[in-house]
Amino acid sequence: MARPSLEIDARGYCRLTGTWTLGELARHLAQIRLQLQAVPAGSPWRLQEVERLDSFGAMLLWQRWGRRWPRELEISEELRGVLTAVAAHSGKPLPRPPLFTPLAALVLLGSLLFSFLHHARDLVTLLGQLTLDLLFLLRHPRQWPLKELSANVHKVGVKAMPVAALVGFLIGVVLSYLSAMQLEAFGVEAYLVDILGLGIIRELGPVLVAILVAGRSGSAMTAQLGVMRVTEEIDALATMGISRTIRLVLPKVLALTLVMPLLVLWTSAVALLGGMLSAKVQLGTSFAFFLEKLPQVVPMANLYIGLGKGAVFGLLIALVACHFGLRIRPNTESLASNTTASVVTAITTVILVDAMFAVALRNVGVPL
């Protein structure tokens, strides 16, 4: 391709030659702009020797001409068509964003409500299908997906123990340190056991583990189902007559529901250990005093509440993850957006359900 150039010939014409496209003009744009500005006003133009002209080069010339056709112009019909198209669209104003009116707010609220109802309906449908699958497997015990269940227990349970222990230990240390600073100012350091015991066993343990699992295992479940959707593996299972819910969804839901209480127990124990170490360093509280007073100030009902929350949170996280995984369309954009929506929805659902637990069980397990 020839380099774009212009010059004033003997007759006073501004003669353009070469390739006037974005790829070629970008290399010499500053020089071309200076040469265009130096062309005397009212000069005739000759574009018959231009090899190629795209919309960028046409807009460059149209702006130099002051957005109107020059009085004398020698040009081929092909290039004139390009310039005519640019001239037709150059004067149009940019579209303004629509105003956010009360009617638009009502439409947005309605769309969000219908979207929520649609997701809720699909979740209930999925839960009903899993219930039917369980009844089927109880009548046909040889068809239980034990290998898939064992693999999911290992992935969502055993592999999550190190990170859950680390986060739980650090949360216990931080909570003990901050609480001890306030209690020490009032001379009631002994109440540190009450705060750590109730806070970790009843609330922080289940919620903390649920958030970790939603971000770690929930996203992995959604991504796995989404990739199988993109690669048409789920369709292949349906073609072979294999139930996708029994082989793919049910093992994940059962595994997370069974493993979550154990993860809650593990994380709460490690968090209490971190709190004990922090209390020992800061307040000099012995381990024996901490372990002796803990059962006295934290009734056993709180442990049952924490484990029950873990099972419910695990069920909800797995259902939400599988729901969004099965909704993924066979493209990468849908995979990314639904995985993000899965994690956000799971965490939000966990917090809402935890608030419902707090209100419903406010008089259970509270020491008098």
Res 309: pLDDT: 93
Query: pLDDT averaged over the chain?
Result: 87
Res 1: pLDDT: 62
Identify whether residues 231 and 296 lie together within a single domain: yes
Res 93: pLDDT: 60
**φ/ψ (deg, to 5) at 367:** -65, 140
Contact partners, residue 329, CB within 8 Å, separation at least 6: 229
Res 208: pLDDT: 92
Res 68: pLDDT: 85
Res 236: pLDDT: 87
Identify whether residues 123 and 83 lie together within a single domain: no
Question: DSSP assignment, residue 143?
Answer: G
Identify whether residues 54 and 192 lie together within a single domain: no
* pTM (whole model) above 0.85: no
Q: Which domain holds residue 199?
A: 118-360
Rounded Cα gap, residues 24 and 18, in angstroms:
9
Res 319: pLDDT: 94
Rounded Cα gap, residues 54 and 207, in angstroms:
59
Residues of the chain with pLDDT under 70: 1, 91-99, 367-368
Rounded Cα gap, residues 319 and 258, in angstroms:
14
Residue 367 in domain: no
Identify whether residues 68 and 179 lie together within a single domain: no
**φ/ψ (deg, to 5) at 198:** -70, -45
Residue 102 in domain: no
Identify whether residues 242 and 342 lie together within a single domain: yes
Strand partners, 19: 52
| For the chain, percent of residues with pLDDT exceeding 70 | 97
Identify whether residues 228 and 334 lie together within a single domain: yes
First to last CA, the chain: 89
Rounded Cα gap, residues 353 and 359, in angstroms:
10
Residue 104 in domain: no
Number of domains in the chain: 2
